[in-house]
Amino acid sequence: MSFVSFKNARIVRAAWLGEGGRRLDCNPYMSGALEAREALKQLTCKKDRLSDVTLSMFDSGRESRTWVDDSRYGVRYMGSSAIGLSDLSSLPLISKKQVAKNPKLLVEGEWSLITRSGTIGRMAYVRPDMVGLACSEDVLRVVPDPERIPPGYLYAFLSSRYGVPLVVSGTYGAIIQHIEPEHIADLPVPRFDPTTEEVIAAKVDAAAQVRTQAVELLHAASSRLYKRLGLKQPTSVALLPKPDFSAVSSELFKDRGDAYYYSSRNAESRAAFDGVAVSRMLSGVAEVFIPGIFKRLYASDPQFGSPYITGGDVFELAPTSEKYLMKRLAAEYRLLLRKGMIVVQEAGQLGGLIGRSVMVGGYLDGFSCSNNMIRIVPEDDIDGGYLFTLLSGEHGVRLLSREAAGSSIPHTDEHRVKRIHVPWPSREDREHIGTPAIQARELRDQACVWEREARDMLEARIQRGE
């Protein structure tokens, strides 16, 4: 017989059962919800029920999905894990016909999105570049009533350290947990003076706006890349020949024997890069390395560690972590992220995140990150902006991902990445192409600051009991 530890046990008073809806599972009493409710009770300000300040709360309903390959016939679709991504350009496409039959799939601006199944309580604020995208039925749409509450303020509260526990406490289910609108309808929303609420909302809205501007700047950088280098646009996967087969010389074939490496999409991208007059090996223009495998030893005190995130976390808008990898370990294995570095997913399924890049900004500087990310360290910001624009585009993703090998979970070899030849135009061209990407990185950092400031202001008011 094994002994169950009681270190996380908690005595539940009979009065709390009434507040928790007579529920006998642990969630309402162990997630911090009771402390959050108690803190809100102490406030002298008015509290509104969530249902009273919203027009509706709903999900899209469960149905099978019809996927398409061509953007002419599809709408980008956010799964529950995608609502927090900074780059939504590579999302799968769901049929426009299905969306027309079920308009609830689409999201609109200034809504708060909450994951309602599996991992409960992850949130996102619908910014302008997300408007019109389809979204999973596992995401709850909270539609604010702008006549009653500033939408940005409502999101700041729901995503705060007081709002999240209250949302999570409403979960139910033994294996796959869920929340429904009725479970959070009575959630208390503190109402401060209009000026405070508007200031908080303005920061959230400003963060949403600059994140959209960052997307536009990255599109501008990509446009400059194709124009300056004369690159041919990549052919859509839907228009590539089927079946996909290639003929290669035996001289080339002795280096790699897997079919994907020689597929038409990868051959097209290699030809596009080779068509530029001047090229260099990636290792000749930047330092390239993949940290070794290491044992994860976490520090109990944050001052002795650096926040640790996985490769998937890097692609989120504002990654957070409660785990702190020991500083000694992070330094020994070169796991620390530094501003200006480019990190590339080196493992995973082809067609997923593998081969996709992120340029590290000030927000991620000092985080430690999984060894499953290729580190590319350019000489300066100009080269960093150019390389990120080049490698994060479809041609770059194809040529990085094709270097992966393995049957179950493909992994990338550091030396193969170093040997990739990339176009290397003049310094003036590299600066012209990369400048918008650098500006986008700074805007995304600023968005994280503003959103954090909004929550800090709200949480400070609650802490003071005002």
Query: What pLDDT is recorded for position 357?
Result: 96
List the one residue out of 354, 357, 401, 363 whose CA is nearest residue 376: 357
Domain ranges of the chain: 34-205+454-463, 232-275+277-424
Q: In CATH terms, is domain 34-205+454-463 a member of 3.30.200.20? A: no
Query: What pLDDT is recorded for position 249?
Result: 77
Query: What pLDDT is recorded for position 18?
Result: 58
Pick the CATH number of 232-275+277-424 from 3.20.20.70, 3.90.220.20, 3.30.9.10, 3.30.365.10: 3.90.220.20
Same fold: 34-205+454-463 with 232-275+277-424: yes
Pairing between β-strand 373-378 and β-strand 342-345 as defined by DSSP bridges: antiparallel
Query: What pLDDT is recorded for position 27?
Result: 58
List the one residue out of 359, 363, 353 whose CA is nearest residue 375: 359
Total-model pTM: 0.90
Which residues of the chain fall below pLDDT 70?
Answer: 1-31, 170-177, 466
Contacts of 165 (CB under 8 A, 6+ apart): 31, 32, 33, 35, 36
CA-CA distance, 264 to 271, in Å (whole number)? 10
Query: Please, are residues 36 and 166 in contact by the beta-carbon 8 Å criterion?
Result: yes
Query: What pLDDT is recorded for position 77?
Result: 96
